[in-house]
Amino acid sequence: MTYRIRNILIAVGLALVAMMLTLFYVTNYKRSVQKSAASVQVYVVARDIPGGTSGADIVKGHELKVETVQRKDVVPGAISNPDQIAALVTTGPLYAGEQVTVRRFDDVAAQGIRSQLKGTTRALQVAGDPNQLLAGTLQAGDHVDVVANLRLNSQSSASVTRIVLRDLTVLTAPSETAKLSQASTGAASVILAVTDTQVQRLFFVLRNADWTLELRPVVNAADSGDRTDTLNTILGGS
């Protein structure tokens, strides 16, 4: 084989390799383009949703809808299943039409008390002594009733006792706020969830009566009929 023929064969071989590499590149590029252009389904917000809304409420309220977009238009972190946000809460408002992404959510615990307030629910911090607040026993998430002893009037020593509020949720237990509250008021405190009308009754009791909290059962809690006790009902055994 002459030197010239050998060079020709080498050139032809290199040309074939270059052609194969180019073909491989073009084929992969086409596949990439086709993959990007492929249609996929994503979840988008059906209507505006305020910040602090739980993912569970969004899913339960059917606030999501499915739309088809090109793969290249999928937002990073977009959910593929509503269950991915069921235990989370929005960190800010979501707007109708935007893709739902886990980046717009955070853990419920990270949002603290605010994530548990909805509609007419309010949070009220109640100061009291350890016995009133069941300090050391009460935990966040427990449910309590408020028992109060009220004087009938300022001129008489006669009083009545009854349960004035039932089934209030404990948002923060005494042990979690004790250091802060003791430094400022000399008492422990608990934060309770109440409605905007319950808060009026509770505030009246806190200012005008002796009171205490009672812990409700964790499961299968039940209520007896309402009653009011006075000295006569107690002595009469009724």
Q: What is the rounded CA–CA span in Å between residue 79 and residue 83?
A: 9
Distance of alpha carbon 202 from alpha carbon 168, whole angstroms: 11
Q: How far apart are CA 226 and CA 164, in angstroms?
A: 9
pLDDT value at residue 184: 46
CATH topology of domain 39-112: Type Iii Antifreeze Protein Isoform Hplc 12 (3.90.1210)
Radius of gyration of the CA atoms of the chain, in A: 33
What was the pLDDT predicted at 180? 45
Between CA 26 and CA 21 the distance in angstroms is 9
Predicted pLDDT at 197: 93
SS (H, E, C) 47-106: CCECCCCEHHHHHHCCCEEEEEEEHHHCCCCECCCHHHHCCEEECCCECCCCECEHHHEE
pTM metric for this prediction = 0.56
Best CA proximity match to 42, nearest among 73, 17, 14 = 73
Q: Which two tokens stand for residue 92?
A: 């800010």
| CB-based burial, 166-188: b 16+ in 10 Å, e otherwise | eebbbbbbbbbbbeebeeeeebb
Q: What is the DSSP letter of 155?
A: T
Counting as low any pLDDT under 70, the low residues of the chain are 1, 3-8, 12, 26-27, 29-37, 109-111, 154-156, 175-186, 238
Q: Distance between CA atoms of 213 and 190, rounded to whole angstroms?
A: 10
Residue 192: phi and psi, rounded to 5, are: -110, 150
- The pLDDT of residue 29: 63
Cβ atoms 187, 181 nearer than 8 A = yes
**What percent of the chain is helix, strand and coil (3-state, nearest 5)?**
35, 30, 30
> Cα(165)–Cα(202) distance, rounded to whole angstroms?
8
Tell me whether strands 121-128 and 188-195 are parallel, antiparallel or unpaired: antiparallel
Which residues of the chain are in CATH 3.90.1210.10 domains?
A: 39-112
